[in-house]
Structure 1
């Protein structure tokens, strides 16, 4: 995803193969215009670390809580859409943790779920504040990304076999919890608990989110190729029971109906695409 509109610049930065098990990508956005820019970020079910440079940006949750992002902030797993605002002169660099990577750094995947938190509080030291000062001295985005990658190396802990199996599970016809439980001769309940512990959400939550994401992608595809959306095609292709269930999921994740999402999608950032 790349956007350059009237001084608002944003793009994704891919991760080198050595770190693709840990980070999905980096995301950069800056506001070089004279206007205040507000966007909505779709849920990603990832934990994110936001570094802020220049003017102070802010986040607004679904409960209308306004949070300033000064230096750095940890947030996630992102289960619902939220607004972010970039005043003139603001610049953000976002680190997107993949699967169980947040647990491998901090030992508790759900610790930042309910409230944003300064990452230094998770380690009981000011290393992220120090990191921000080091990043602030660098001009090139690529240099900042490489510096973050090198910084992360000493903090990564061993990845348990069960977490690896869950993260890499790709057989859509099978229940991942049951299949991994059978592979390890463990109960499904134990695997469920491990999933929540390492990822910060249950496999059932993830399945619902993936269905919603499939609907988002299909809506965008159909909108490009048809003058009118066939909502019943969306329902059928994505496995919804009926239109009310489709609408309920959109309200749950982004507080918009599918039709309103289609109307306002230019102001909505999809962290996956």
Structure 2
């Protein structure tokens, strides 16, 4: 199994993304593994991804800040999302996490709720009224490596995945950027735009308008990372133009909305920020 974006820190912090096979690419974007084998507590900031994430914790209990200055511990497994704002997570020495990153409407296809964990993280067993995820955690805890754990989760997911809604599939696969996806899908299905908007929120956990704004912000982040990698000087007006912002104040407003940092502060702390989409 191929690992992507391997990073190490202090010869003891390891983190990498694990891609999924083509059979599951409509369901998961990737898995993410991190472990802290150093003697120090490590805190990272996770950028918003507009994904719902299932977190499995092994070893020493990690925690994250929910955004209301409330620290929440992940003892075995927890669901958060859709993640619309950056948050910090903390891995003490001996902590180990594996995250499952749901794609588009996949979380709805599993649980029938797309926004249930948006404000309050929740144990997935509470959504199904059974302890299957606690049982799953115990099985995963017996396995020694990430590849085996990922494969076990994929097989486990097969029994819970329901049929994909036609409209949700059309919205997820819509690629004509010059058209309004809500209007186009409404016309295709002879439905009102309002009805398609409600379906989008129901199946994805966010509106098409929210997603459009986030994609503009994400494009700015990606362009900044490219310029940093190439050792080029950041031209903010180029970023404003390339990403479709009206002016610098709108760019700053989006950065503060999503990560509570100005663009210049993001540059300063960029090494401590994890981009789940890269």
- TM-score normalised to structure 1 length: 0.99
The equivalent of 1:14 in structure 2 is 19
SS in structure 2 at match of 1:201: coil
Of 141, 145, 157, the match for 2:146: 141
SS at match of 2:158: helix
Which whole-Å CA distance do the structure 1 matches of 2:229 and 2:115 have between them? 38
Name the CA distance, whole Å, in 1 between partners of 2:100 and 2:235: 36
Q: Distance in 2 between matches of 1:226 and 1:4?
A: 22
SS of equivalent to 2:93: coil
**What's the offset of the Cα at 1:227?**
4.7
SS in 1 for 2:159: helix
Moved over 3 A (4+): none
Residue aligned with 1:49, SS: strand
Deviation at 1:5, TM superposition (A): 1.4
Q: CA RMSD in A?
A: 0.7
**Residues 8-33 of structure 1: per-residue CA shift (max 9 Å, x gap):** 10000000111111000000000000
Structure 1 match to 2:115: 110
- Aligned partner of 2:176 in structure 1 is 171
Deviations along 1:225-265, whole A, 9 cap, x unmatched? 34531111110000000100000000000000000101111
Aligned to 1:212: 217
Is 1:195 aligned to residue 184 of structure 2?
A: no
Match of 1:128 in 2: 133
What SS class does the counterpart of residue 97 from structure 2 fall into?
strand
2:77 equivalent to 1:95: no
2:237 matched to 1:232? yes
Counterparts of 2:262 and 2:112 in 1: how far apart (Å)? 37
Alignment partners' CA distance in 1, 2:94 and 2:203: 37
Q: Which residue of structure 2 lines up, in the alignment, with residue 2 of structure 1?
A: 6
Q: Look up the match of 1:30.
A: 35
CA–CA separation in structure 2 for the residues paired with 1:175 and 1:256: 30
1:48-81: per-residue Cα shift (whole Å, max 9, x none)? 0000000000001222110001000000000000
The answer on 1:44 being equivalent to 2:45 is: no
* 1:33-72 equivalent positions in 2, closer than 5 A: 33-72=38-77
Q: Does 1:265 align with 2:270?
A: yes
> With structure 2 as the length reference, what TM-score do the two structures score?
0.97
Aligned equivalents of 1:30, 1:91: Cα separation in 2: 4
SS at structure 2 position matched to 1:170:
coil
SS across alignment from 2:148? helix
Gaps of 5+ in 1: none
1:247 aligns with one of 246, 252, 272: 252
